[in-house]
Each structure stands twice: as C-alpha cells, then as structure tokens.
Structure 1
Amino acid sequence: MSSKKIITLILILFLMLNISSISFAQSIDELKQNINNHGDKIKKLEEEIKVYEKEIEIVGGQAKTLQSAVQVLDINQKKIGTEIKKTETNIQKTSLTIDSLGGEIGNIEQKISSNEEAIAKILNNMRQSDEETLIESFLINKSLADVFDQYESVTQFQKKVRDQSKELALYKNELSDKKIITEKEKNKLISFKSNLGDQNKILEINKKEKSNLLTTTKNKEEEYKKILAERQAEKERFEKELFEYESQLKKAIDPKSYPSSGKGIFSPPLDNIYITQYFGKTVDAKRLYSSGTHNGIDFRASRGTPIKAVLDGIVKGFGNTDEQKGCYSYGKWILIDHPNGLSTLYAHLDLIKVSAGQTIKTGEVIGYSGQTGYSTGPHLHLTVYASQGIIGIQKYSSSINCKNVSIPIADVKAYLDPMIYFKF
C-alpha cells in the first residue's frame, strides 16, 4: 500500500469523524440557547411567586374580615397561576434538554460508528500491507526510499489508530453518562407533568372556595363574622370532646419504643420553614384551644405548597373531616408510621397524593397545603406520636358533629413535641 493511499485513508478517517458532527453541533447549540432562555423565564416567575407569597403573609396577618379573606384568595389565585406557568416552563425546558441530549447522543453514536468503521477499514488495508514482504514492496515501489516511507507511514498510523481507540473508549463512556442523564430528565418531566395536574386541581379548589365564601356570607361582613364565630365554637366543642376522651385512654407506651429526642431525625416537611404555632401549653394555645394545649406545630404554607414526608415510612391512613358538615377539625389529613416507633400526622391539606399502605421515602411529596378543616388560613399542622400510643384510625361515635368521620385516636401521652426531632 503506497504512502499516498495511507495518507488518503487518514484523511478519510478525519472526515468521517468530524464532518458529520458539524450540523449536530449547530442544532444542539440552538437548543441549549433555548434552554437558557427558559431558565431565565423560570427565575423571573420565581421572583413573581415570592412577591405573591409576601402579599399573602401581609394580608393574612391583618384582622380577619371578609375583605381580607377574599383578598387572600385572589392573591392565591395569582400565585397558583404563576406556579402553573413556572411548571409549564419547566416542562418545556426539560423537553428541550431531552431533545438536546438526544442530539448529543446521536452525535456520539455516529462518531462511535464512524470511528469503528474507519479503524476497521484502515486495519484491513494495513493487514494487506503487512502481508507484503520487503522484496515485494521494493519491486512494487521501485525505490527503497518509498519502501521505508511506506513503513514509516504505517507506524505513524498505527499510533493514530491506538489514539483513536482510546478516544473511542471515551466516547462510549460519554454515551453511557448522557443516557443516564437523559433518564433522570425524563423522570423530572413525568414529575413536572404530575405537578401541573395537581396545581390545576388546587386552582379550581381556590376558585370554588371563593365562590362558596361569597355565597354563604352573601358578601356581607356581619354574615362572615357570624360564620367564623360558629365554626370556632364547633371546633372548640370537638376539641374538648376529643381531649376528654383521649385523656381517659390508658395505652401502655414503652419509652424505649421510640427515640426520646434527636435533632435531625426528621427532615423538614417544607422547603421554607416558618413556625406560626408551637407544641404544648403556649400563650396562643391557651387562647386558641379548649384543652389549653396544642398537639403539634403549625407551619406557614400558602395554598398549593408541596408537603414532604419527614422520614421514611408507610401510610397508615388518610381522611377528610370536612366530609361531615359542621365538623371543624383536621380537614384532609395523612398519617404515616415510621420504622423508629414514631408516627406523623399532616393536616389541613388541599390535596392528598398517597394511598393507604404506600411506602414513602424521606422528602417525598405526599400532598399540598391548604386550609381544609378548621383553619384561619392556609398552613400545615404536624403532629408527632409515639406509635404505641395510637389506638387506631377510627370514628369517635360519641362526638356531636364529627361522629361520622375517622381520625387518629391516641392516648394523650402519645403526643410528642415535634421540635425535639427537627434541626431548625
């Protein structure tokens, strides 16, 4: 094989490996620019959501009037609408990322294919060249210098083939990495699409609540005050009934069956933590609860905020006290049993995302915050129990207004201060 032929084959190798990637690179660059543009849009939407969150906090902290209640619902409507836009943009951005990765994968696969094909072709020609003896080469080339040039070219190309083989291995590793990233992006896309469905449901809940509020109050402040007072009275009545009943329960609880304390055992149930009401006999508890004690902690959480499991566990059950008219309690709630002897209750949710018996991982979204049950505004109520002290999820048949709904019933000694298990 002549030196010219070897050089020609080298050029073919370079062309096969590089020319085909030019058009791919151009389209991928365009996709990446589009992805960056979507990222900028998401940042702007996040800033807009923060503004709405602040407005809800300010208005929610004002005196409870019909006007302020409607105003909070209106701001929530705008906030959720913006969150929907953010999720839609995330879906578009993730889809573009998947397309970009697909282009990169196609590019790498083509490089691998061209690389393998070119190397195979050159090696085949080199094999044929190797079969020529020195005398045969001399007779063909008519010059000893040409013979040595040919063998020097072959030696150089052997080095090039070795280098390309190493590069081929790198391409294959890169291909594997890109495929893993693509699968992660596809899972993100599924999650975003699920979130979008949830957010649209919450938007409808908010609209319906505003409509019901204006209908029941007849858009009159005095009617609103009257309804608030009635609900407060019903809520206090049920709390008193439940506290008296649970105080009579005598359930044996082994103190060694659960951790007595441990900062950091629980992961935060929300991305942003702000506690509005602590556990136990606080000043607010004496004012707000007939028992004089608060059986959990309350977190500020505007409507539609994702609620996360604080620890691995299994969903023991869920329910909705609003199913019985006049029962003002937890609203939509979830109870999770954890493997360390603790159980957690999440209440006043707008949307429940789990089913009984489902295995849950720490940080997994189990629902969305709201203001179902008795609630003066959207928030998350979290109760922590010593699991042994829970009698079960059952109806409290002696109740006046809540006899037809099921809730967790526990010995009062089972209620624990959640703060001893959190790091914040």
Structure 2
Amino acid sequence: MGRHLHTIFALIFMGFLFLLPFVANGGLIDDLRQQIAAKSQEVKDLQQRAAEAKQSLAEAQSKERSLQNQIYKFNKQIEALELEIAVTEEQIDEVKLKIEEIEIKIKQTQEAINLEKSRIASTLQLIYETGPPDIVELSLNAKSLSSMFQNLYSVQKLEGELKTRLNVAQELSANLVKDEADAKAQENNLVALRTQLTLQQELTEDQRSEKNILLKDTRQQETVYQKSVKQLESQQTEIQKNIIALEAKLRFAIDPSSLPKGKGILSWPVNEVRITQYYGPTSETGFINDGYQFHNGIDLAPSTGLGTPIYSAGDGKVIAVGNDGRYAYGKWVAIDHKNGLITLYAHLSKQAVSVGATVSKGDVIGFMGSTGFSTGSHLHFTVYATSTFEVIDRWYGPLPLGGHLDPLEYL
C-alpha cells in the first residue's frame, strides 16, 4: 500500500510540473495584451481627432454658401472620413490581436484539459489496482501509531486531490466553451469592421468625386458657382412646393381606423437620437424658406455624421428604393410594416437594401448622408398611412408621396 501511495503522490507532483509550459506561455499573452492596450489608445487618439474634424465640418456647414466654403466642407468631410478609416483599421488590428490571444488561450486550455484527463485516468487506475484502504493492513504495515494515521491521512489526501483534479478539468472545459464563444464574437466583430471600412472608403471616394465635379463645373469661379446654386435652389423650391401640395390632398385620404395606435410601435432608426427638426409647420419647426412650409417628418442628426448606420424601424418589406439626385429626398428607402404604416428614410449616402427585401426591426437599410435637398448630413424620417402611399415618376427621379403622420406618435 505504501509503495502505491508514493507512486500516486509522485504522479500528482509531476502534474504540477506539467503546468510549467502554460506559465511560460503567459509571457506571450502578456505581450499580446500590451499590444492590445497600445492599439486601444491609438484608437482613442484617432477618435478624438475625428471628433474635432466633425466639429469643424459642423461649423463650416453654418457658414455662407460659397465655392470656397463648399470646397472647405468637402475637404473637411474627406478628412473626417479618412480619420474614421484610420480608426477602423486600428480597430481591425486590435481585434486581430484579441483573436490571436484567445486562440493561444484555447490551445493552452485544451492541452491543460488533456493533461488533467491523463492524470485523473492514471490516478484512478492506481486506485483501482490498489483497492480501497484496509485499516488492518495499514495497522500491520505501520511502524507506529503515528505512522498508521499518516497513511490514513495520505489516502484521504489522495481522494481530495482527485476531486480537485476533476473540478479543475470541469472548470477548464467551461473556460474553453467561453473562449470559443469569445473568439466567434470577435470574428463577427472583425467582419462587421471590414464591412464598415469598405463603406467608409466608398464614401470618401464619393466625396472626392463630388468635389472634382464641382471644381470642373464651376471652373473654380465664384460667379459660376453662385449662378448654379441659385438655379438649383430655385428648382428645389419648386419641387418642395409640389410635394407639399400633393401630400396635403393625400392627408385627407387617411382612414384613421386603419392606423395602429400607441407609442413604441416603431423603433428609432438611429442609435443616437438627436432631433434637429420636428414634424409640422416650418413656422413652428424652425426651418423656413419660400417653398418649405411644412415638414412631413423628423430630422435626426447623430453626432457620428456621414455614414452612420440607419436601421429599419420595424419588421417589414422594402417596397421602394429611389435616387432623386440633388433634389427632394436624394437617395431613399421605403418600408411597408404591414400594420398600416410605411416608413421613409431619406438623404441617405448609400442604400443597403433593394426592392422586395424582407427586413427585421434593427436591420441596417442604409447609411446617413446629405443627398437631395439637404444642407448637412442627417436622416429625414417620414411615416405614411399605407393606403395613401405611392411613388410617381419625375424628371429628377422617383418621388415617394403619401398622407404623412407625426412619427413621434409611433416611436
């Protein structure tokens, strides 16, 4: 019995030695964590610079409309987007390091589990061969009473050690499941960041193209620019008057009994709710010009600016997608929620869905922009009564119309 006990405790002691490689590998993980911390700080620094660039852009948008200021705004928008790209690239590198760290932990945990299983199996084999401790045998083999109790204590300690090993193996298995889930989450995060990076790069190129077109069309002359601005504003005003007149008639066609009732039926289409203009007469909402007397939705302008993801306000089906260029709603998406309501998302920089697509609440359907009749990057969000909604063709593109409702009644 004594020989077997010595063998078992020697095995347990060797088990602790097997842990040394994992302790040694801890240095590699520490190095990765230092790199991750450094990347995280770089991301914060770049985010601060991007926020400053966006603030400069916001200030530029309030300045007098001139060719010089317009070029300045393009430059600031490109600068902000390039900084956002740099932030995303650093975040991608940070996530890659996190995945590398998790993969090392998974490998080490799997190796530790295999070692624990091996040690448990060996210990159980020895216990099986030895059989349960015989008090008579222990007494006869003991040289003294204290020696007998020492042998009994060793057996009890062996059983306790075995239980500890089993608990360690179970804990390692639970950690492995968690690490694998973390790795999957980080991989999904990486895919989302790469998609975001592609979008930011496309938006940056769009801004450069618009800037070059502006410089070419105006031949970099202020008088030419002002002439084109006046012509554009005149056209936009007439279009807006036409929309207001057509929708005023459609509002009379709304059947109140067909509408759902209560707040919370729709969810906010942006993460950061920052309303810059409410629904109603422009004399009350604050934005007034010759052709813009009623605001048929609400304007949302998250601080994240151009390229901010726009989400579907509810489950539904995409029934129309259009592009009105520099007029009306610019790039827009309309979704039928099959509850008596249709939602419109306008002035998008990019649409992420097509006609016929089925969407769920919270799905990304586009990205915030400043296309169409717009003075700055924001989302124009309109709610229509389904029975009144239609899309008509105009020389500048397809125009969505309908009997509109106050979105705040449903958000």
Q: Give the alignment's TM-score, normalised by structure 1.
A: 0.87
CA contact (8 A) 2:244 2:294 kept: no
Q: CA separation in 2, counterparts of 1:138 and 1:276?
A: 89
1:55 corresponds to which residue?
56
Take 2:272 and 2:287, find their aligned partners in 1: how far apart are those partners?
27
Alignment-derived partner of residue 270 in structure 1: 270
What's the offset of the Cα at 1:124?
0.4
CA contact (8 A) 1:6 1:154 kept: no
Residue 320, structure 1, aligned to residue 320, structure 2 = no
Which whole-Å deviations, capped at 9, do the CAs of 1:382-415 have from their partners, x for residues lacking one?
Answer: 111122321x3x333xx4x33xx323232xxx20
Aligned to 1:304: 307
Q: Deviations over 1:218-256 (max 9, x none)?
A: 111121211111112222222333444444558854424
Counterpart of 2:269 in structure 1: which amino acid?
Answer: P
User: Using a 3 Å threshold, how does the CA distance of structure 1 residues 47 and 291 change in structure 2: closer, same or farther?
Assistant: closer
Secondary structure at the residue paired with 1:288?
coil
Deviation, 1:357, is 3.0
Where does residue 395 of structure 1 map in the other structure?
392
Q: What's the secondary structure of 2:333's corresponding residue?
A: strand
SS in 1 for 2:64: coil
Distance 2:32 2:78 in 1: 33
CA gap of 1:419–1:222, structure 2 versus 1, over 3 A, is farther
Q: CA deviation at 1:339?
A: 4.7
Cα shift at 1:151: 4.6
The range that moved more, 371-380 or 154-163, is 371-380
Taking the aligned partners of 2:100 and 2:92, their CA distance within structure 1 comes to 12
Name the CA shift for 1:343/1:46 in 2 (closer, same or farther; >3 Å): same
Deviation string for 1:162-188 (max 9, x for gaps)? 122122212211211221121111111
Name the residue aligned to 1:408.
Answer: 400
Structure 1 runs not aligned, ≥5 long: none
Residues 306 and 367, structure 2, Cα contact 8 Å, conserved in 1: yes
Aligned position for 1:332:
331
Identity level (%): 30
Distance 1:174 1:24 in 2: 17
> Could you give the per-residue CA deviations for residues 133-183 of structure 1, whole angstroms, max 9, x where no partner exists?
7788889x6857767644532221111111221222122112112211211
CA drift of 1:354 comes to 1.8
Match of 1:84 in 2: 85
Contact 2:312–2:361 (CA<8 Å) still a contact in 1?
yes
Q: How does 1:87-236 map to 2 (within 5 A)?
A: 87-130=88-131, 149-236=150-237
Paired AA for residue 164 in structure 2: D
With over 3 angstroms needed to count, the CA separation of the structure-2 counterparts of 1:44 and 1:60, relative to structure 1, is same
Partner of residue 7, structure 2: 5
Equivalent pair of 1:332/1:350 in contact (CA under 8 Å): yes
Q: Give the match for residue 33 of structure 1.
A: 34
- What is the distance in 1 between the residues matched to 2:291 and 2:260? 29
Counterpart of 1:281 in structure 2 is 281
Q: Distance in 2 between matches of 1:225 and 1:299?
A: 29
The Cα RMSD (Å) is: 2.7
Partner of 1:344: 343
Deviates more, 1:154-163 or 1:350-359: 350-359
Whether the 8 Å contact between 1:331 and 1:372 is mirrored in structure 2 is yes
SS across alignment from 1:287: coil
Q: Are positions 1:356 and 2:348 aligned together?
A: no
Alpha-carbon contact 1:332-1:373 (below 8 Å) kept: yes
- The letter of the residue matching 2:238 is R
Give distance in 2, aligned partners of 1:285 and 1:147: 94
State the distance in 2 between where 1:273 and 1:133 align: 75
Partners of 1:358 and 1:364 lie apart in 2 by 11
Distance 1:12 1:350 in 2: 64
- Count of matched residue pairs: 405
Amino acid at match of 2:379: L
CA distance in 2, matches of 1:126, 1:148: 19
Distance in 1 between the 2:99 and 2:324 partners? 43
Letter in 2 for 1:227: S
Following TM superposition, by how much is the alpha carbon of 1:189 offset from its aligned partner in structure 2, in angstroms? 0.6
CA contact (8 A) 1:251 1:389 kept: no
Corresponding residue number in structure 2 for 1:365: 364
Q: Give 2:407's aligned residue.
A: 418
Query: C-alpha separation between the residues in 2 aligned to 1:281 and 1:269?
Result: 23
Alignment CA distance shift 1:24-1:338 (3 Å): farther
Matched residues in 2 for 1:310 and 1:93: separation?
Answer: 32
Q: Unmatched 5+ residue regions in structure 2?
A: none
Supply the AA of the counterpart residue of 2:306: R
